[in-house]
């Protein structure tokens, strides 16, 4: 019997098309930040050695996740593949959050705010009010539309860094198989208590046959607000980071344009 697909064919096609564009987007962002002419040396370092490096890491993490656990996977992947995908998801969240902080530090140094804000004030979230207040009304309004995303992303990143790491469950069980699964779970516990390794391994293989795979991740099933479909989510998160980066470049250009002295226009006398 064929196993059910988690994504529809149409969704899978959209996911694959977007994934193919990621590396090109990462390269473009890297070149824009490396090539930008910063007035402040420290701002340039955060842009070139912080953001530009991290954006390439994000693209590589996405590639590794999709390579290890393709979006069309229906059978439970081997444990090693799930672990490798989890490692890359963890690296993705860590560096994507770092990208956001790097953008904030670029702004703080380039706009001369280092003596006005403390280290804990630096960021782009709504609780980073002192930094947000220095942006143009246009950028402040845009960031406000992304507040929910910032909160979701901070929750997953902070859980990863301080509490429970991101995890890809090996599979889920259909309702019709729940009773059999629970019985095997009971027998597994008994085999473990009896230190019967062979019986434990045999029962574990039996239990695995009841799993169906779903490409989801979370940190704590008790603390998290829910699970996420990681193939779609890493693509969406990358695009959000890209969006924030392009908005920051606009803000920097706007800032520098405002600092250029207005040339005095001489008016010739009427003849």
Average pLDDT for consecutive 10-residue bins of the chain (271 residues)?
71 95 98 96 97 98 96 87 95 96 97 93 95 96 96 87 84 79 87 90 83 79 73 96 98 89 54 52
Contacts of 5 (CB under 8 A, 6+ apart): 12, 72, 74
- Three-state SS annotation for 208-223: HCCEECCCEEECCCCC
Question: Residue 81 domain-assigned?
Answer: yes
Asked whether residue 73 is domain-assigned, the answer is yes
- Structural domain contains residue 193: no
Would you call 11 exposed, middle or buried from its count of C-beta atoms within 10 A (0-12, 13-18, 19+)? Answer: middle
For residue 49, is it within any domain? yes
Domains of the chain: total:
1
In a domain, 103, yes or no: yes
Position 161 scores a pLDDT of 85
In a domain, 35, yes or no: yes
The answer to whether residue 192 sits within a structural domain is no
- 165: domain range? 9-169+231-255
pTM to 2 decimal places: 0.85
pLDDT at 212: 79
Q: List the one residue out of 6, 13, 14, 21 whose CA is nearest residue 238.
A: 21
Residue 31 forms part of a structural domain: yes
């Amino acid at each position: 019997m064929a196993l059910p697909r988690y994504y529809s064919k149409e969704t899978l096609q959209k996911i694959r098309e977007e994934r193919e564009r990621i590396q090109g987007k990462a390269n473009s962002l890297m070149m824009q930040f490396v090539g930008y002419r910063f007035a402040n040396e420290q701002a340039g370092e955060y842009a070139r050695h912080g953001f530009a490096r991290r954006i390439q890491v994000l693209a590589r993490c996405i590639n590794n996740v999709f390579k290890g656990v393709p979006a069309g996977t229906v059978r439970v992947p081997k444990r090693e593949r799930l672990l490798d995908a989890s490692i890359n998801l963890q690296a993705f969240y860590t560096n994507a959050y770092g990208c956001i902080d790097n953008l904030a530090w670029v702004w703080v140094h380039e706009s001369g705010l280092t003596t006005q804000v403390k280290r804990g004030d630096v960021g782009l979230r709504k609780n980073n009010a002192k930094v947000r207040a220095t942006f143009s009304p246009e950028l402040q309004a845009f960031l406000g539309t992304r507040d929910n995303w910032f909160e979701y992303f901070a929750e997953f990143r902070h859980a990863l860094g301080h509490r429970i790491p991101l995890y890809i469950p090996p599979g889920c069980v259909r309702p019709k198989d729940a009773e059999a699964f629970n019985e095997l779970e009971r027998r597994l516990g008994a085999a473990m208590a009896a230190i019967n390794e062979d019986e434990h391994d045999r029962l574990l293989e039996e239990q695995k046959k009841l799993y169906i795979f779903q490409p989801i991740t979370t940190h704590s099933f008790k603390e998290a607000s829910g699970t996420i479909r990681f193939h779609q989510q890493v693509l969406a998160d990358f695009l959000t980071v890209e969006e924030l980066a392009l908005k920051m470049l606009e803000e920097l250009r706007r800032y520098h344009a405002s600092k250029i002295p207005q040339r005095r226009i001489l008016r010739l006398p009427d003849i």
